[in-house]
Structure 1
């Protein structure tokens, strides 16, 4: 019961946050600007949406292949179809309830494959760590190649948090942040050791052990080169799909791959903030277009909502399709294996 209430509260919070971002992105748009947004979308090169669909779907496919590589050191070899289906269904669930999709895809895969869901959680953590490093690299590349556009804004925004009123670095703020992080880690460690005999805490420790076991698998990856290749390929496909999406609007086509790089960096943050990036993704992309000298209320919003809509359609469409195919495929597979076993038994008897 408590878990259900927590899930509802979590969903309500992130959905509310998304609605807030939606309101922030459209609250200043008047009737004339709505007409300009509509006009920009109508004049867009709509045929470019198809390759964006293909590239995004490929990125999810290679993410499934990369996940399989992380499972190999634990002796797990699930089928590519089941792994890909679990990834897409996980994305679909994440669009509604953040982070729940990670649990769901591990549980689904363990249902029809010889894998343990708790150990798969560690591979998910490893994936997220790699994605975080990849996103940081994307931000660094964006600052290097598009620093003349976003450098001043980034330094001004983040610099205020760690500076005092005079504009100098605030040692006090930095120390407070570090102290809070260390305190949180220390308290969690103490609680797990002190109350380890309680069932709920014991279960948490069991999950943590499973996570650590999964994390340790990175040391034993047999195909490190392919894992790195897939990681680079995934983010390259993200960049390519975003850049093609930018070319779709005539007003943003001149931004090219540089604009795609900054849009990917900023948009990725929006995808993390709210379920499926609703509200946050279009808002951040619109603000970014303002830095390029475009009208963020019209062209910025048109591009933001166009890119977000394409990604969301892929997640919902593919997620729903694979939700239906997943069970059908595995039950059919089980029936075929059962018939084969029955046939072999009859042959042995005769």
Structure 2
């Protein structure tokens, strides 16, 4: 398989999977299920959806502002408006081509702020390292406090055995991973060398966060961004009566599952509503309103990204052309 075919498959497969999952989930619904979901959409309180979108906008603004802390030590201070529009364009393009947004974001500031592409892209990678660390922490917290529920659902075993799963996940697996990493560092295999180099890059990126001049501001905005993400999810739970009284644990588990679904298909197409609904069902929410919640949440996020991303694509050249006058 040549590179061109591989690239085509890489681009098409996530979208095809998302479309298939949408078809599959809809094909399993009875006429009464469809009516129930339609009713949930019609009766939802969209003021809470609007509140959710405000949290989303705040997270994007914070992400654009946080970027300044990584660019300043390199001698660059892009206009905040350009940073915001570059971030929004990145989100838009990632809906269609995975990871293309990061390249477009670096290309945007190269064109309009004269920041070298490789330097801008390097700061974006460093940002991603920080985000991955926070996401892993949230996943760890979710699993630690909800091990009983998750293990009983996945393994169909008694909840009392969950202590063993905690030991495996939080003690055994990290130790095994550490020793495997140390062992593989000595390997001469080209593929393994690339993997180890990638892991070392992530470690170096994480270390660099704590040596930057404005590290505490950077850390604050990183935490703020993820708090806004969680609040986006939380706010929409008030849109439907069936999800209004969910415990905070359900919010975290649903958020984590939804976040992971984004990696499976473009922007969580098809996967987000299904996986989030599956998580909420664990907390005694009926399947139909749980699925409606997932679709409302995903639709609102996607419309926001398409709207603001498209506006940014249109406005960024106009804005910079105006500044040149």
Q: TM-score, structure 2 length as denominator?
A: 0.83
Distance 1:14 1:43, change over 3 A: same
Q: Give the structure 1 partner of residue 92 of structure 2.
A: 92
Aligned pair partner of 2:270 in 246, 259, 279: 279
Deviation at 1:295, TM superposition (A): 2.5
Q: Give the structure 1 partner of residue 314 of structure 2.
A: 324
Structure 2: how far apart are the matches of 1:119 and 1:215? 17
Aligned pair partner of 2:298 in 308, 333, 347: 308
Q: Which 5+ residue runs of structure 1 have no aligned equivalent?
A: 164-169, 193-204, 337-350
Aligned partners of 2:184 and 2:192 also within 8 Å: no
Q: Per the alignment, in what secondary structure is the counterpart of residue 189 of structure 2?
A: helix
Distance 1:191 1:126, change over 3 A: closer
Distance 1:149 1:132, change over 3 A: same
Aligned pair partner of 2:251 in 235, 257, 260: 260
**What stretches of structure 1 move > 4 A for 4+ residues in a row?**
2-7, 144-148, 154-157, 189-192, 210-217
Q: Give the structure 2 partner of residue 294 of structure 1.
A: 285
Q: Per the alignment, in what secondary structure is the counterpart of residue 95 of structure 2?
A: helix
What does 1:98-137 correspond to in 2, within 5 Å? 98-137=98-137
Aligned partners of 1:92 and 1:315 also within 8 Å: yes
- Number of residue pairs matched by the alignment: 307
Q: Give the structure 2 partner of residue 14 of structure 1.
A: 14
Q: Give the structure 1 partner of residue 213 of structure 2.
A: 222
Aligned partners of 1:95 and 1:276 also within 8 Å: yes
Q: Give the structure 1 partner of residue 169 of structure 2.
A: none
CA displacement, residues 133-175 of structure 1 (integer Å, 9 cap, x when unaligned)? 1111212332355445435446779x9xxx9xxxxxx99xx79
Structure 1: how far apart are the matches of 2:191 and 2:119? 21
Q: Give the structure 1 partner of residue 190 of structure 2.
A: 188
Structure 1: how far apart are the matches of 2:155 and 2:20? 26
Q: Give the structure 2 partner of residue 244 of structure 1.
A: 235
Structure 1: how far apart are the matches of 2:95 and 2:208? 28
